Structure 1
Amino acid sequence: MNDQADNDSGTGGWDAINASLAQAYPGQEPRHAAPVLPASLGGGDPLDGISAYFSTQGWPHWHYVTYGLSELYGKESEDLDHSGYGLELTFRLRALPGQTEPPSWAFDFLQNLARYVFRTGNVFQDGHWMTANGPIALDTPTRICSMAFASDPQLPAIDSVNGRVEFVQVVGLTLEEERAANQWAPRKLLDALLPHMPLWITDLERESLLEAPDVAEAVAAGLARDGSSSEALFTDVLQVAEMAPSGAAVGPSFKVTLGARQVASLLTLLPLRLPFGQFFVLSGSDWQLFFEPAEADSVVLEDTMLVVRMCPATLATFTSAMAPREGSYQVAGLAQLTWSVQKTLIRDASGAVVQTIG
């Protein structure tokens, strides 16, 4: 790559991505979707474009790659080591027999994930996971309702004139696989799935791979050996509101609103993290909850992050007092917090509610 040529063209970041894809797909002209008016020019779509390549490796599939989470043109951020957010998203979708065009819903899906990154500043990395609270493809019946993130197995990181860019692949999971991922470790689960899921290609028609004996055995052995290495959960259902102090509280009081599904995850993960000296973060669109083990309980608001420190006794009380059911909860030791739990609605491809949690 010629950095000077990139500087002269004014599209150095874009050109670097194109050069990487030209090596992976020599001679192939991708299907490219670009918004009429991207966010950079005042529109609603954050990405300047998404390309889709057809591949026969693993299974026949469409390989989508985004343009816009990194700096495509001139250098604007102060971080000289990373280009923009330091990543672009990729997504591999199994192609149906005879399919000649990449499904358009995946372009919207990736725009929505990018919109989340732009809105929150939360950056997806290898080993992260996120729930979708419904099918990732709204026009297709599927059990794929969650996602994990891994370094793209065929696109190594690149160094553009604007800094380093990682290609982070979105991998579709079922609800059962999501639970296994957050209990054990998303990246380790993906490795266990790989023999049944080449290149982590998302197949909307598949059932849960936990039904495969080797995968179930790997998860059980991993939990017994490792505990949980999941340190973060991304969600759209998280709000924090400051309240008037209650009689038992010292300092500010807060109302924390969560979905029942996220509460279920916390009740599973916090006992697998805090007693081992590990933190856990729940990241929403506007707020973050940072749970940390401590000898004494405390609650501190740091900008848009609420830091909740719990001693072992309070963690035990939290797991017994809270429930993944709609309602208002108080936890002894954290008198300044009121936990408001909302129902989580799981919807099918048509938008109809098929499951209610809480």
Structure 2
Amino acid sequence: MEDNMELNQAGFDAIAQKLKQLYPKQDGIFYRSIIPYMLGGNDPLDGVEIWKSETGVPHWHYVTYGYSELYEKECEDPAVSGYGFEMTFRLKCGKEEQPPVWPVNLLQNLARYVFSSGNVFGVGHYIDGNGPIALETDTKLTALGFCMDEELREMDTPNGHVIFLQAIGITSDEMEAFMCWDGKKFLEEMSKYSPFGITDLFRSSYMDNPNFYEAWKQGMEQDGSSTGFLYLDEVGAPLDKGRAYLRLGAGHDQILNRMLRARVGKGRNLYLQGTEDVVQFLPGEPHISMGDGVLSLTMPKEILEEICYVLTSHTGTYPLSDYPLTIELVPTRIVDQDGNVLRTIE
């Protein structure tokens, strides 16, 4: 098996050659998976190669091998190699002489998600890390956005086309703002302050920058949101005798308010997924229905505005005036990893 791989690694060699062209005066550091995934190993990627870049500010450039077809062609689509991408990550250099290893683990974790779920990432997508992207560091970056790697971009290999998709560290409030606008445009705006999408673990949120915030606000109001799905754990949505009852955690009011305006307010649907219940918000004439376990709330602009107004309230029960919907806002408890309540939002 190993001999066959050595004899036919055209996809692998194509990526290696492209990287050598970008960094002709150095040798990359390659972290190879000890046990191949196909033989029961835990790491889906064959490996991650790391290069030292002086582009923009000095940083480490991590590039994966394994989302695309590195060896034999197996995917039925001849135009696309494997999942159609490899992933990159750029980390601002500190005082270290050798590249940190944690981004290698981060990239392998992302690959585990893709390989196990079949869900692929693309330009303008995001993923919530539910915690610091670098464990045991004092960073505000808890999520990732994805854009095209500005230098590597895309290429054709003997096994099909591959794009180089770059993961960029973002803060929790940036992720919420990202969701409420067009993800691709959000990252393009962010690139004005972080050229080449270099992740700086110790930066503050760009939402605190007045110029960035104003550009985001204008873009959201003009374009609406490209994200049609929102997950919140505290969601209840029964329908009883023609009246719907929507239960929400009070701590999620701001993001849902923004998403409703950026989606339904722009004539688009929004799916709200809870741990058990699903709600679909739609623009149109007033109507409420339940089908296949999904509560559908169709509403004109005036009802949307009333819902958004209610979402700014404190905990309590709020029946809408001219629409058969009652909204209940319940306390949201913020807990640590051990389940201890840190604070309660009411």
TM-score by length of 2: 0.77
| CA-CA distance at 1:190 after TM superposition | 2.1
Q: Is the 8 A contact 1:325 1:342 kept in 2?
A: no
Q: Is the 8 A contact 2:224 2:266 kept in 1?
A: no
Deviations 1:244-271 (A, max 9, x none): x97648xxxxxx9999877753442133
**Partner of residue 197, structure 2:** 200
Q: Is the 8 A contact 1:259 1:341 kept in 2?
A: yes
Q: Is the 8 A contact 1:326 1:341 kept in 2?
A: yes
Q: Is the 8 A contact 1:120 1:284 kept in 2?
A: no
**Partner of residue 52, structure 1:** 50
**Partner of residue 4, structure 1:** none
**Partner of residue 70, structure 2:** 72
Q: Write the distance in 2 (CA, Å) between the matches of 1:276 and 1:330.
A: 25
Deviations 1:153-195 (A, max 9, x none): 1112111122211111111112232232222223222222223
Aligned residues: 339
Q: Write the distance in 1 (CA, Å) between the matches of 2:163 and 2:317.
A: 42
**Partner of residue 157, structure 2:** 160
* Pairing of 1:154-303 with structure 2 (within 5 A): 154-224=151-221, 226-232=222-228, 248=241, 265-280=255-270, 293=283, 297-298=288-289, 301=292
**Partner of residue 83, structure 1:** 81
Q: Write the distance in 2 (CA, Å) between the matches of 1:83 and 1:259.
A: 43
Q: Write the distance in 2 (CA, Å) between the matches of 1:53 and 1:346.
A: 36
| CA-CA distance at 1:294 after TM superposition | 5.6
Q: Write the distance in 1 (CA, Å) between the matches of 2:48 and 2:339.
A: 26
Of 38, 41, 54, the match for 1:40: 38
| CA-CA distance at 1:342 after TM superposition | 7.8
Q: Write the distance in 2 (CA, Å) between the matches of 1:115 and 1:327.
A: 41
Contiguous gaps of at least 5 residues in structure 2: none
Deviations 1:142-162 (A, max 9, x none): 011122111001112111122
Decide whether aligned partners of structure 1 residues 205 and 47 sit closer, same or farther in structure 2, where only a CA change above 3 A counts: same
The one-letter amino acid paired with 1:119 is S
| CA-CA distance at 1:199 after TM superposition | 0.8
Q: Write the distance in 2 (CA, Å) between the matches of 1:240 and 1:346.
A: 21
- Range with bigger deviation, 103-112 or 207-216: 207-216
**Partner of residue 110, structure 1:** 107
Q: Write the distance in 1 (CA, Å) between the matches of 2:228 and 2:43.
A: 26
- Range with bigger deviation, 115-124 or 265-274: 265-274
Q: Is the 8 A contact 1:330 1:339 kept in 2?
A: no
Q: Is the 8 A contact 1:346 1:355 kept in 2?
A: no
Of 133, 141, 144, the match for 2:141: 144
Decide whether aligned partners of structure 1 residues 326 and 84 sit closer, same or farther in structure 2, where only a CA change above 3 A counts: farther
The one-letter amino acid paired with 2:86 is E
Decide whether aligned partners of structure 1 residues 196 and 271 sit closer, same or farther in structure 2, where only a CA change above 3 A counts: closer
Decide whether aligned partners of structure 1 residues 163 and 272 sit closer, same or farther in structure 2, where only a CA change above 3 A counts: same
Q: Is the 8 A contact 2:279 2:297 kept in 1?
A: no
Deviations 1:86-140 (A, max 9, x none): 111111000102x221111111111111112122222211111222221110121
- Range with bigger deviation, 325-334 or 307-316: 325-334
Q: Write the distance in 1 (CA, Å) between the matches of 2:342 and 2:125.
A: 26
Q: Which has the higher contact order (CA 8 A, sep 6+)?
A: 1
Q: Is the 8 A contact 1:239 1:257 kept in 2?
A: yes
**Partner of residue 252, structure 1:** none
Decide whether aligned partners of structure 1 residues 158 and 293 sit closer, same or farther in structure 2, where only a CA change above 3 A counts: farther
The one-letter amino acid paired with 1:274 is V
TM-score by length of 1: 0.75
Q: Write the distance in 2 (CA, Å) between the matches of 1:240 and 1:121.
A: 26
Decide whether aligned partners of structure 1 residues 167 and 109 sit closer, same or farther in structure 2, where only a CA change above 3 A counts: same
- Range with bigger deviation, 195-204 or 292-301: 292-301
Q: Write the distance in 1 (CA, Å) between the matches of 2:223 and 2:210.
A: 20
**Partner of residue 3, structure 1:** none
Q: Is the 8 A contact 1:231 1:281 kept in 2?
A: no
The one-letter amino acid paired with 1:32 is F
Identity of aligned residues (%): 38
Contiguous gaps of at least 5 residues in structure 1: 1-6, 250-255
| CA-CA distance at 1:274 after TM superposition | 2.4
Decide whether aligned partners of structure 1 residues 175 and 210 sit closer, same or farther in structure 2, where only a CA change above 3 A counts: same
Q: Write the distance in 2 (CA, Å) between the matches of 1:239 and 1:196.
A: 35
Is the partner of 2:192 in helix, strand or coil?
helix
The one-letter amino acid paired with 1:186 is G
The one-letter amino acid paired with 2:181 is W
Q: Write the distance in 2 (CA, Å) between the matches of 1:38 and 1:205.
A: 35
**Partner of residue 16, structure 2:** 18
Q: Write the distance in 1 (CA, Å) between the matches of 2:318 and 2:46.
A: 44
